[in-house]
Amino acid sequence: MMGSGIENGFGFMGMLKLRRRALIAMLALALLMAFQGTALALSWAMTDGFESSSASTTWTFFGDGTHTGSLKYSATYARSGYYYARLTASNGGWSTVGRTVNLWPYTNVQSSSSCTAGAYVRSLNGSSEIIVEVINPATWSPLAIQSHTVSSSTSYTWISSPGWAVNRGDVFVRIEVVSGTYSEVVYVDDMKVTCYW
């Protein structure tokens, strides 16, 4: 008499396991064929929304002419969390907030890396000229710079730098407001640096 599937260890449950393994193998093969000849991009990102207990020493405020810059605490005005930066400039002055960023990809994958930097900003007075600048801290020369015109709004707008090729392990990223005819008041929150390789 022939044994049942249960007796020889290849019953109904055994068939299900076999089918599941075959399906997984077919999916893996399909994915392999789909990505054949295609480079898969990897990425790394660092976000800082001023929420760290070391924010007052991590971030630097600077400017020229009539300006102010400071960390503020208010869930009402922050884009996320409780803290944000407030920049003001008037009479041709300018004001910045920035920090050093250590680029993880440069120290781990040094070839073919490129990065972008940006932040969420909110202008309170008219149209503000707001600049995203990425600086080489060794020479204080720009690696990437982009000017944006941001209209006053009750919500935040994302602005970013152009991409730059990674050739060092750290950069200084800053957001700058430049005053023209009007006094400028700008909130900054949730700065982000993203690198791809």
Tens digits of per-residue pLDDT, 78-117? 999 999 999 999 999 999 999 999 987 565 555 567 899 9
d(CA 127, CA 134): 23
pLDDT at 34: 44
Q: How many domains does the chain have?
A: 2
Q: Are residues 47 and 127 in the same domain?
A: yes
Q: Are residues 88 and 140 in the same domain?
A: yes
pTM: 0.77
Q: Are residues 51 and 123 in the same domain?
A: yes
29-34-39-44 Cα dihedral, nearest 10 degrees: -80
> Taking the alpha carbons of 24, 30, 31, 32 in that order, is the dihedral positive or negative?
positive
- Partners of 95 in beta bridges: 63, 177
Q: Are residues 53 and 30 in the same domain?
A: no
pLDDT at 11: 62
Residue 186, SS3?
strand
pLDDT at 18: 52
Q: Give the domain extent around 127.
A: 43-196
Q: Are residues 27 and 59 in the same domain?
A: no
Q: What is the mean pLDDT of the chain?
A: 83
Helix ranges (H only) for the chain are 12-34, 55-58, 104-108
Q: List, in order, residues 6 or more apart from 10 with CB less than 8 Å away.
A: none
* Confidence label for 197 from pLDDT (cuts 50, 70 and 90): confident
